[in-house]
Structure 1
């Protein structure tokens, strides 16, 4: 019998419709995403790449309201390990996303560290390991960002460990959490990315539960992942191979992750994000419907 997951608020995101960029001819139009995410039975969404959904708050509010949708978060990419020189450009991007998220009633800003590989060409553009000085810049920068976002926009930041970034493996995630102030910096645990990088989501929730402020639900195909790891395949090509797969066919099992999250005793968003860029336009909706039914069977 499944646990009643009454603290878990389930949603989905443009990512589950193959959307990685604000504007790309291979992606479904935003109207279709909104229609289909509502049809699939989700009530919460994320903004996705800034500019994919309408950025005028009144228009976006009208579009989501009439589909009975609500916005849980916006997302930004940052390169704070590069130090104070990038603060101004980072804050400009954060301001656009955070103000729209706040206007939509969201309380969270998902912060993804910059890739050390180019997300389109897969070229390695920075060393995968940070120096001690870069770690300090990253952790202090995230604390500064957390404070500024809260003071200016009333949102909490949740940092998203991600494949091909400097916050990826268990070792890096723990180092990051141990070096940052829990009052300023939360964690967005993405179950798929953490498994992709060798981490155990249930263990992380049990060990650092007070830091978990948000969840992304996804799974990896263990066979494809083994090949990806063995051959050093970059994240983008790995996604095109189908490394992120439809639940419940992959790992980690989501039932114990959701039960551990419920056990924290706090309200948490659990946003489905099945990376599928690019994908045929008819592919996402049936998967989204089945995934929502599966999560209901888990009690969410």
Structure 2
């Protein structure tokens, strides 16, 4: 397929990966150091994440100084039954949208949030604990968040994610089918869909015209299957090595990405949640090498 119009960005999660299968932002090197390295290996954009101690303008200037463009943003919508917490979360979603709009990249991947000891973090990738009533409440919450993002001039794209209240193909379809496409687009993560037992190509083909962006990663399909069958926790599965650098796992990208419209000009964000290399930099190097090899040879 032809992805000449697509925009590629890196989300450098490798820096934050912990030994217990989670992510810790305090492990990140200084921003300027991160940006300089990511640009030096050939990436031209990074998933936007304005630091708490910087203004949007300062962050944009830091990206420009490194020769990087701002990519899409990401919203972790914390689940809560407390109306005050929900309003706070909706306000944060709108604030993130305003920042991304100011940066010139209005797309935000919208995902239900994750916490270390949450129910589905303990019982991941199987749609654990869902009921029709609860899923309807989740849908309503996501709809409110998408409306807040849209009101700020942003573009919200549903991002199913293992360990959250929208992780399976069935849950994904329910949310997308019951929220107006003008309010909520689709931002699939092919790795998380595959971990949850879905066929990424199939569900992406169903909603191809609604896809605003994609997260692309690789995984060990055997570990994904065993994690579901043996009922491993999220962190245990990560520790067992489910995530792989691009091209070293079991996902075949060509049929998956061929479901995108021929003129797709949205974002494709490369992620390795926990690298298999000795350093984060080596993992980022492999991501850059994969991207160059596949886009230059038109293998995608």
TM-score, length-normalised on structure 1?
A: 0.85
1:128 aligns with 2:128: yes
C-alpha separation in 1, matches of 2:91 and 2:275: 27
Distance across 1 between alignment mates of 2:101 and 2:73: 9
Corresponding residue SS for 1:66: helix
1:274 is matched with 272
Which segment is superposed worse, 138-147 or 157-166? 138-147
In 2, are the aligned partners of 1:7 and 1:267 still within 8 Å (CA)? yes
Q: Quick one: distance in 2 between partners of 1:285 and 1:114?
A: 25
Change beyond 3 A, Cα 1:83–1:8 = farther
Aligned residue number for residue 99 of structure 1: 98
List structure 1 segments (4+ residues) > 4 angstroms apart after TM superposition: 19-22, 121-125
Tell whether the 8 Å contact from 1:219 to 1:252 is kept in structure 2 after alignment: yes
Deviations 1:212-268 (A, max 9, x none): 2210001111232233223222223322332111121223211222222143x3322
Cα distance change of structure 1 residues 95 and 175 upon mapping to structure 2, 3 Å threshold: closer
- Structure-2 separation of matches of 1:67 and 1:93: 27
CA positional deviation for 1:40: 2.2
Q: How far apart are 1:286 and its partner, in Å? A: 2.3
Superposed, 1:18-167 pairs within 5 Å as 18=16, 23-24=25-26, 26-48=27-49, 51=51, 55-79=54-78, 82=81, 84-115=83-114, 118=117, 123=122, 128-151=128-151, 153-167=152-166
Q: Distance in 2 between matches of 1:28 and 1:168?
A: 31
In the superposition, relative to structure 1, how do residues 35 and 240 fare at CA in structure 2: closer, same or farther (>3 Å)? farther
Aligned residues of 2:156 and 2:185 also touching (Cα < 8 A): yes
CA RMSD of aligned residues (A): 2.8
In 2: Cα distance, 1:92 partner to 1:221 partner: 37
- Change in Cα spacing, 1:277 to 1:288, as seen in structure 2 (3 Å) is closer
The whole-number CA distance in structure 1 between the counterparts of 2:148 and 2:274 is 33
**Where do 5+ consecutive residues of structure 1 fail to align?**
none
Q: Which runs of 5+ in 2 are unaligned?
A: none
Cα displacement (A) at 1:160: 0.8
User: Residue 248 of structure 1 aligns with which residue?
Assistant: 247
**How many positions carry a matched residue from both structures?**
291
